[in-house]
């Protein structure tokens, strides 16, 4: 079973993709080849959505993705990158996007995101995103690290409803967005893209450390004959609204990540996870790292 999420544009994309934060951080050739092989393994397993950013390793992650996908059928890929907030205005965004395209060895991005809010007015960024679409440099645009108030401010602008996704930190141990942000995004048709859905190996923004060894996750993993990481990913994509982009530099782990797409958690499983990792009952500040 391959889970998909339909964007506001009508484009259907895999609910499970590949993240690249913290890749290309070493110049060791063997490690680079290992990371390329991991990305290619993920693509072969159906994880054809790849998320990166000009920030990641100062553009080297984009270069890594470009090398990994050089011989792929571009039409089968969904490439996402992100622009620094200080590059998200008319003075720099077109050059920044062009540089990302060059590093990725592609003519266009399927999705281009504002990485987080900065001093450039949102109205200017939206106008520039629309211009990038008009020029054919990107197919669509979205935002990242936007909380509910940010989305409400964005939505007052012309063409704001062209926003496809909000990419935010989200995993079973960090559910703060569920209180107000997720309902707002669903009401307005904007998809959630969950970065760090495995909590960076189970240590990011969690009260249970290490998360991958949590008894509830381990018991469900035993029940389904999978790993606790696969339980976390199946939980992240349990609806038709959320895209999860786990990062792995290991082909073995990438294959395991892809297999989570075949796992469906039942009502009892979800109830156990809700008990172990309760949803928020009040507004929680957006977690970013």
Query: Which CATH number do you get for residue 225?
Result: 3.20.20.100
In a domain, 240, yes or no: yes
Task: Go through 241-274 and write b for each residue having 16 or more CB atoms within 10 A of its CB, e for each that does not.
Answer: bbbbbbbbbebebbbbbbbbbebebeeebeebbe
Sign of the four-CA dihedral 133, 139, 144, 150: positive
Structure token digits, residue 55: 């920030």
Quick one: CA torsion of 124, 126, 128, 131, rounded to 10 degrees? Answer: -140
Any domain includes 103: yes
What per-residue confidence (pLDDT) applies to 287?
84
Q: Cβ–Cβ contacts within 10 Å for residue 161, how many?
A: 13
In a domain, 7, yes or no: no
In a domain? residue 111: yes
Per-residue pLDDT of the chain (289 residues; tens, 9 = 90+): 589 999 999 999 999 999 999 999 998 999 999 999 999 999 999 999 999 999 999 999 999 999 999 999 999 999 999 999 999 999 999 999 999 999 999 999 999 999 999 999 999 999 999 999 999 999 999 999 999 999 999 999 999 999 999 999 999 999 999 999 999 999 999 999 999 999 986 555 455 468 999 999 999 999 999 999 999 999 999 999 999 999 999 999 999 999 999 999 999 999 999 999 999 999 998 987 5
**Cα distance between residue 83 and residue 144, in whole Å:** 10
Residue 32 lies in a domain: yes
Q: Which tokens in the block code for residue 49?
A: 């959505």
Instruction: Give the whole-angstrom CA distance, residue 70 versus residue 47.
Output: 16
Q: Which domain range does residue 139 map to?
A: 13-276
pTM assigned to the model: 0.95
Which residues, 6 or more positions from 32, have their beta carbon under 8 angstroms from its beta carbon?
Answer: 24, 26, 64
CA nearest neighbour of 158 among 201, 127, 202, 194: 127
Domain contains 143: yes
Name the one residue in this structure whose structure tokens are 């266009």. Answer: 108
Q: What's the pLDDT score for residue 205?
A: 47
Q: How far apart are the first and last CA of the chain?
A: 31
Determine, yes or no, domain membership for 270. yes
Total number of domains in the chain: 1
Rounded CA-CA distance 122/223 in Å is 47
86 located within any domain: yes
- Sort residue 242 into left (φ over 0), alpha (ψ -120 to 50) or beta: beta
């Amino acid at each position: 079973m391959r889970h998909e999420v339909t964007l506001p544009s009508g484009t259907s994309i895999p609910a499970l993709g590949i993240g690249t934060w913290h890749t290309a951080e070493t110049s060791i050739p063997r490690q680079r080849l290992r990371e390329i092989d991991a990305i290619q393994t993920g693509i072969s397993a159906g994880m054809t959505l790849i998320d990166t950013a000009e920030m990641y390793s100062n553009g080297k992650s984009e270069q890594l993705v470009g090398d990994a996908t050089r011989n792929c059928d571009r039409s089968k890929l969904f490439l996402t990158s992100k622009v620094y907030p200080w590059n998200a205005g008319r003075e720099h965004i077109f050059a920044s996007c062009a540089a990302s395209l060059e590093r990725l060895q592609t003519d266009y991005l399927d999705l281009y995101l504002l990485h987080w809010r900065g001093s450039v007015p949102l109205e200017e960024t939206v106008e520039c995103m629309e211009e990038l679409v008009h020029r054919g440099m990107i197919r669509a645009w979205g935002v990242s690290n936007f909380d509910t108030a940010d989305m409400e401010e964005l939505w007052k602008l012309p063409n704001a409803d062209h926003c496809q996704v909000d990419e935010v930190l989200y995993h079973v141990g960090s559910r703060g967005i569920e209180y107000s942000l997720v309902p707002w995004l669903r009401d307005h048709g904007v998809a959630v893209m969950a970065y760090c859905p495995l909590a960076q190996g189970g240590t990011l923004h969690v009260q249970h450390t290490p998360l991958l060894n949590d008894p509830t996750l381990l018991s469900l993993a035993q029940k389904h004959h999978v790993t606790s990481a696969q339980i976390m990913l199946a939980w992240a994509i349990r609806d038709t609204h959320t895209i999860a982009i786990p990062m792995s530099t290991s082909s073995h782990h990438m294959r395991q990540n892809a297999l989570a797409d075949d796992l469906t958690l039942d009502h009892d499983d979800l109830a156990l996870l809700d008990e172990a990792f309760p949803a928020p009952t009040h507004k929680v500040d957006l977690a970013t790292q």
